[in-house]
Structure 1
Amino acid sequence: MSFCEIRDYKGVKIVYTDIKGTSGDEAIPTFEKVQGLVQKFPDKSVLSCVNATDARFNKNLLSTIKDTVKKNNPKSKATTVCGLNKLSTVILKSIISATGRQMRLFDTVEEGMEWLVEYEAKSAQKSMSA
């Protein structure tokens, strides 16, 4: 069963979306919830992590993901997507290039969450030195 929530990971708030093991349309309601959740945040403030381990994608889900990425782009600071197989990676890379989103792919959720924490720390250092 897929879900989304705000997680505190090492003191950093991350919008965590779990679509692990879902097939196509099962994950669509979760991405619709993500859209509503992210809209409550200030622009360029959202760090998010998507666990897509063993998820299967279909045309409807890919369309929903594209819509979600476009709608959430103004709010997004950085996103990680974890657990994709090779075909899904190719598809997601096309979405990344089409939207210009700061998005990284990782094998595990832990790697993705760690990268987001490091990214946030670097962003904070840049803000302090500016």
Structure 2
Amino acid sequence: MKSRWTTYKGARVMYCDFSNFKSDVNALRAEVEAADRDIIKEPAASALILVDMRNTVASGPAVELFKESAKLTNSHVKKQAVIGVSGFKRFLADVVARFSGQGMRLFDTEAEAMDWLVGSYDGGHVVGGA
């Protein structure tokens, strides 16, 4: 599993590393499901999540996968930031956020995303009411 818990400025953050999944939705599914298993162990509304989507191809099956994941983990997530989403992928992120009710913010850099998650930055593109 590439995804892992990390600490940033004293806060525990789940780094969901969904980067570089070009077209293998089965490998992406395995990674997402492994990350979800860790996230749902957390208390309600407590998990800080960074999702890295750099160099991952957006497809219909991938969007469905993320909708399923969001429904499963939504009640455990306090804040969610996403990097590596631009153009059409940004539109799809908004679709997932609106469908699942799981708000998120989109960022250009990992540092901006992490700073927002721990409360020291107030930027990013809001989707889904985050």
TM normalised by structure 1 equals 0.84
2:8 equivalent to 1:4: no
SS of structure 2 residue aligned to 1:3: coil
The residue aligned with 2:28 is: 27
**1:15-54 mapped onto 2 (5 Å cutoff):** 15-24=14-23, 25=25, 26-54=27-55
Query: Counterpart of 2:85 in structure 1: which amino acid?
Result: L
* Structure 2: stretches of 5+ with no match in the other structure: 121-130
SS at match of 1:73: helix
Question: How many angstroms does 1:111 deviate by?
Answer: 1.0
Cα RMSD after superposing both structures: 1.4
Work out the CA distance in 2 between the residues paired with 1:55 and 1:109. 16
Q: Distance in 1 between matches of 2:88 and 2:32?
A: 20
Q: How many residues matched?
A: 118
Cα offset for 1:108?
1.2
Does the 8 Å CA contact 1:80/1:103 hold for their aligned counterparts?
yes
Q: Assess if the C-alpha contact under 8 Å between 2:2 and 2:31 holds in 1.
A: yes
- Per the alignment, residue 108 of structure 1 pairs with 109
| More helix, by proportion | 1
Identity among equivalent pairs (%): 25
Kindly name which structure, 1 or 2, has the bigger radius of gyration based on alpha carbons: 1
Whether the aligned pair in 2 keeps the contact of 1:54 and 1:84 (CA below 8 Å) is no
| Amino acid paired to 2:111 | E
Q: Find the aligned partners of 2:68 and 2:43 in 1 and give their Cα distance.
A: 19
Query: TM-score, normalising length from structure 2?
Result: 0.84
Q: Which consecutive residues of structure 1, in runs of 5 or more, have no partner in the other structure?
A: 120-130
Greater shift in the superposed pair: 20-29 or 67-76:
20-29
Q: Residues 46-72 of structure 1, C-alpha deviation per residue, up to 9 Å, x if partnerless? A: 110011112112222211111110000
1:90 equivalent to 2:121? Answer: no
